[in-house]
A and B are shown apart, each in its own frame.
Chain A
Amino acid sequence: MLKQPVRHLIDPEDLSIEELDALIKLAQKIVHSPREYADACKGKILATLFYEPSTRTRFSFESAMLRLGGNVLGFGNANVSSVAKGESIADTIRTVSAYADIAVMRHPKEGAPKLASQYSLIPVINGGDGGHQHPTQTLTDLLTIQTFKNSIRDNTIAFCGDLKFGRTVHSLIRTLARYGIQKFILISPEELTLPDSLKRMLNQTYSLQLEEVRTIEEAVEEIDILYMTRIQRERFFNEAEYAKFKNAYLLDLEKIKNAKEDMIIMHPLPRVNEISYEVDQDPRAVYFEQARLGVYIRMALILKLLGVECAC
């Protein structure tokens, strides 16, 4: 029998829309019957190669593999691995290929997981590369949208905050465009708008409308999904500028008083101060549920990339 080529997830576009839909369905099955998958990856090992700090993504992957009955090894800080001795990514992944069955990599350099995939004998998952892509956050977001809105396509989605450097936004908006969403509302200060190269690509490839506004209130009444992101202090020249934007993009109950009753508020987390704690009590706030769903979609992804046939 011919050996199947190794599949990686570097970019959401590595998966077709049909494959994305199948992953979402599988994740929903796991949500409903997690015990049936408890031994699906027994004897398999996930390597977590985190060259920069991460709490949620790493724990979420580890939790996913442990819940599938597999094991986990890896590092959460490049300073304590051979990388600190100057080992190349290619050598690291070739070695790890001998120790594990699948790997997830986070790296500050954009394109690093793609480079790893070119030398790897096992599936490589991009766990976030610089400001470029974060495909498993995209999968998490898709599952969240499907779960709470029952459809991915028929929504007006607004992205708010740092749209320039926010990799979660870049990955998600491209994928939603593939799903055929025709209108996106982009809420950000002028300094943090979506990169021109991405806007150009979206406009050239898809038939869609990108509406840019400066405040949440301008668009809140037509939004079905409000996707908040963190505005990072280090992006600004001085504290005064940061303070100005920080408050303008702080979501509180006052700002969503005219929003739809079935709007949902998403956030990739961690939240710092862009969503007031009072919003947590609002039934439209789904960001903690979103984090929980992230484990299940990663379980589905691990099963798919490992080619685990589950009779569950």
Chain B
Amino acid sequence: MLEVHSIQRGIVLDHIVAGNGLKIFNKLMLDKVDFSVFLLMNVPSQSMGKKDVIKIENKIDIDLDFLGLMDHHITLNIIEGGQIIQKRKLTIPRKVRGLISCHNPRCITNSDDYAQADFELVSAEKLEYRCGYCEEITRYIP
């Protein structure tokens, strides 16, 4: 059986929906770092059936809104001395700025660099956001 050792200091992203791990790994550009990173896929899970897990052997800055947008099922654990010192359940962000682009081709945010699209959540179920400039609805697809 494959064994992955515990990390001493860093971040563990747990309860990632199976299949999302590689997308998040790539979005966080973890393939470019020079410290240890583990991507575990389809790990058996009591609550989820199977899940993905990412272990990062370092403390890095992560945009939690962005991560919550990608997968709000994630639990983020901060590890220090091999122990979890902080646990945080992510949620779908109510407001996002600069993370997604407006689907409306007539929206000013798609043609002017000064206009950074900001959105407000209108449906958590469908991951739909209303653009603050044109008010059109954009559905976020991870």
Contacts and interface: CB of A to CB of B under 8 A. Distances in A.
B interface, size bucket: 10 to 19
Contacts of A119: 114
A107 B134 CA distance: 12
B115 to A, nearest CB: 5
8 contacts: A90-B112, A109-B111, A110-B108, A110-B134, A112-B108, A114-B108, A129-B108, A132-B134
Which 9 residue pairs spanning A and B have beta carbons closest together?
A: A111-B133, A110-B134, A111-B108, A109-B108, A90-B114, A112-B108, A197-B137, A130-B106, A115-B115
Interface in A65-124: 88-90, 107-112, 114-115, 119
Nearest to A10: B133
Contacts, number: 53
A115 B111 CA distance: 12
A142 B93 CA distance: 37
Contact of B115 (A108, A111, A131, A132): A111
Given A88-B112, A115-B112, 20 more contacts: A89-B114, A90-B112, A90-B114, A109-B107, A110-B107, A110-B134, A111-B107, A111-B108, A111-B109, A111-B132, A111-B133, A112-B108, A115-B114, A115-B133, A119-B114, A131-B106, A132-B134, A132-B135, A197-B130, A197-B135
A289 B112 CA distance: 38
Interface of B: 104, 106-109, 111-115, 130-137
Contacts of B109: 111
B104 to A, nearest CB: 7
The interface residues of chain B, by DSSP majority, are classed as: loop
A111 B114 contact: no
Given A130-B106, A131-B106, A109 B135 contact: no
Contacts of A89: 108, 112, 114
Nearest to A91: B114
A171 B135 CA distance: 12
A131 B113 CA distance: 21
A9 to B, nearest CB: 16
Contacts of A112: 108, 112
Q: Which of A110, A114, A130, A131 has the most CB of B within 10 A?
A: A110
Given A108-B106, A110-B106, A88 B134 contact: no
B106 A114 contact: no
A161 B136 CA distance: 21
Contacts of B115: 111, 115
Nearest to B109: A111
